[in-house]
Amino acid sequence: MKITFLGAARKVTGSCFHLSANGLQFLVDCGMHQGLESDELNRRPFGFNPREIDCVFLTHAHIDHTGLVPRLVREGFKGSIITTAATAELSRVMLADSAHIQEMDAQWMTKKARRAGSEKVVEPLYSVEDAIASIPFFEKKQYGEVYNLKNGFRYRFCDAGHILGSATLELWYRNSPERTILFSGDIGKKGNPIVQDPEHTAKADYVVVESTYGNRLHKGVGDSLEELAGAVESTFRRGGNVYIPAFAVGRTQDLIYIFNKLVREGRLASPLEIYVDSPLADEVTKIYSSHPELFDKDAKGLFGKKKGKAVRVHFTSSVDASMKLNRITSGIIVLAGSGMCDGGRIRHHLKHNLWRPECSVVFVGFQAKGTLGRAIVDGSKEVWILGDKVAVQSRVFTIGGFSAHADQKELLEWLGLFQNKPEVFIVHGEESAALDFEKQVKEKLGFVTKVPALGESYEI
C-alpha cells in the first residue's frame, strides 16, 4: 500500500492522508488548513482525482480534519464518508457553519477589491449548498466494531477521548501476512471532561500519530480549576462580568461541565449564570446532549437532565438577544467564539467591556500569532476591535490546563502501550514539536520513526 501525506505534515492543520492499494483509493481526513498561507493551500489542486476516491474516513469533527469535504464533493467525489455517528452529526452543523464563513469572507474580499477599484470577484472556497450536498455521503459507524470495506480491507474505530465522536482508525490492508495501520486522529488527554479516556489497541504494524503537544507538558487540571474559580470569584466581587473566548465544539461543552463541577463542589457560589452566545455552540451542545452513551462516568447525568438551580446556562442564538447581553453589567459568565477572538460575537463583547477594569477575560486555549486574542494575552495596552480603539483595562487570565490534547508524556505512554514495536509516522505538530517528539520516541521506545514532509509518499 502507498501512503501519501497531503496535510498536517510538519504542521498542525490540514490533516489529509491518501492511501492506495488493491485498486482502491481512500483518504483519512480531509481537513482545512488554518493560519499562515492557508487560503492558498486550501484552494490548490488536491493531488488526487476526487472522482477516483472510494471513501474518506474522518477521525473527528474538528474543521482541520473535515473542512475540505464540501470542496471534495463539489469536485466530483462520489464515494462514502465513513465516521462515527457523533462525528457525522457534528460535521453536518460545522461544515454548514464553515461554508457560511467562507461565503462571508468572499463577499468581504470582493467588496474590499471593489473599493480599491478592481472588478475582481472572490469566489468562496465552497458554499453552504456544497456543504449540504456532502451530507448524504456520510455513513455512521459504531466504536469497537470491525467492518469490512471491500477488496479485503477491514477497519475499526476506537474512542480517541478528544471530543465527542473522536476516533482512532485501525485499518487492516493485507491478510497474509496480516498488516495493519493505525491513525491516532487527535488523542485526548486522560480525564478530559465529558468524553471517555482514550482507548487503546494492542498492536499495529504502522502508526500515524499526532504531535500537537509533542514537545510540551500540560499544567495539572487541579491548578487550572483553582485558577478559574478564583478568576470568576474575584471578578464578581469587583462587580464585573467574565468573558471567555471559546470554540463552539468541545471547549464550550467542557467549560459548562467544569463550571457545574465547581459549583457542585462548593468552589463557586450558586446560582451561576452562564450565557453561551453562539448559535453553533447551541446546536453542538444539543448534539452532545443526545449522546450520553459516549460520556464518561462523571459526565453522565450532566447533560439531558434538568440541572436544578446550581448553574443556569442560557443560549443566545439571535443577534438581538446577543446585543441585549450588554445590558447585564455584572455577575455573569459569557462564553462566545471564536476561541482566538479573530471573528465571532466575542469581539462585540470585548469592544463593549474590555475597557472596564471590573471585568475579566479568561483565555483557556491556544492563541495564534496575529490574532486579537494573542495581542491581549501578550499585554497590549490598547487594541483595535471592529474599527474602534479599546483600552485593555479588564483583568486578563491565561489558564493552560484545559487542552483537549494529550501532552508529550501522555503521547509517549499511548505509543508505549503497543505490544509490538510499530513503525511510526509523526504528523499534526509544528515542525519543532514533531522533531522533538521523534527524538523522544526513538530514545524512550526504540521505535523506527519518520516525520514526513508535505507530499511525501511511502510504501508500507
- Contact positions vs Zn ion (CB under 5 A): 62, 186
Name the minimum Å distance from CB 231 to Zn ion. Answer: 26
CB-wise, 211 or 260, nearer to Zn ion?
211
**Which residues are paired to 245 by β-bridges?**
336
Name the minimum Å distance from CB 411 to Zn ion. Answer: 14
CB-wise, 97 or 186, nearer to Zn ion?
186
Compute how many other C-beta atoms are within 10 angstroms of the C-beta atom of residue 136. Answer: 9
Name the minimum Å distance from CB 264 to Zn ion. Answer: 28
**Spatial separation of the C-alpha atoms in residues 312 and 314, rounded to whole Å:** 6
CB-wise, 62 or 92, nearer to Zn ion?
62
Report residue 124 CA to chain centroid gap: 22
Query: Distances from the Cα of 160 to the Cαs of 15, 174, 246, 427, in angstroms?
Result: 16, 24, 21, 16
Please calculate the CA angle 98-345-331 and round it to the nearest 5 degrees.
Answer: 140
Provide the grid cell at 342: 479573530
> Is 27:20 a contact under the CB 8 Å cutoff?
no
Name the minimum Å distance from CB 67 to Zn ion. Answer: 11
Name the minimum Å distance from CB 368 to Zn ion. Answer: 15
CB-wise, 166 or 440, nearer to Zn ion?
166
Residue whose entry in the numeric block shows the C-alpha cell 470577484: 121
Name the minimum Å distance from CB 8 to Zn ion. Answer: 11
- Sign of CA pseudo-dihedral 43, 44, 49, 53: negative
CB-wise, 18 or 62, nearer to Zn ion?
62
Name the minimum Å distance from CB 198 to Zn ion. Answer: 13
Q: What residues contact residue 398 under an 8 Å CB cut-off, 6+ apart?
A: 363, 377
Name the minimum Å distance from CB 361 to Zn ion. Answer: 24
CB-wise, 187 or 441, nearer to Zn ion?
187
> Is 386:347 a contact under the CB 8 Å cutoff?
yes
Query: Strand, helix or coil at 172?
Result: strand
Name the minimum Å distance from CB 186 to Zn ion. Answer: 4
CB-wise, 186 or 254, nearer to Zn ion?
186
> Is 427:247 a contact under the CB 8 Å cutoff?
no
> Is 186:160 a contact under the CB 8 Å cutoff?
yes
> Is 260:268 a contact under the CB 8 Å cutoff?
no
CB-wise, 62 or 71, nearer to Zn ion?
62
Provide the grid cell at 87: 462525528
**Spatial separation of the C-alpha atoms in residues 11 and 27, rounded to whole Å:** 18
Name the minimum Å distance from CB 94 to Zn ion. Answer: 12
Look at residues 309, 313, 317 and name the one whose alpha carbon lies nearest to residue 334. Answer: 313
Residue 25 zone, left/alpha/beta (φ > 0; ψ -120 to 50; rest) = beta
**Spatial separation of the C-alpha atoms in residues 192 and 198, rounded to whole Å:** 9
Compute how many other C-beta atoms are within 10 angstroms of the C-beta atom of residue 332. Answer: 19
> Is 208:427 a contact under the CB 8 Å cutoff?
yes
Name the minimum Å distance from CB 121 to Zn ion. Answer: 33
CB-wise, 26 or 247, nearer to Zn ion?
247
- Sign of CA pseudo-dihedral 289, 290, 295, 298: positive
CB-wise, 192 or 235, nearer to Zn ion?
192
> Is 250:322 a contact under the CB 8 Å cutoff?
no
CB-wise, 62 or 347, nearer to Zn ion?
62
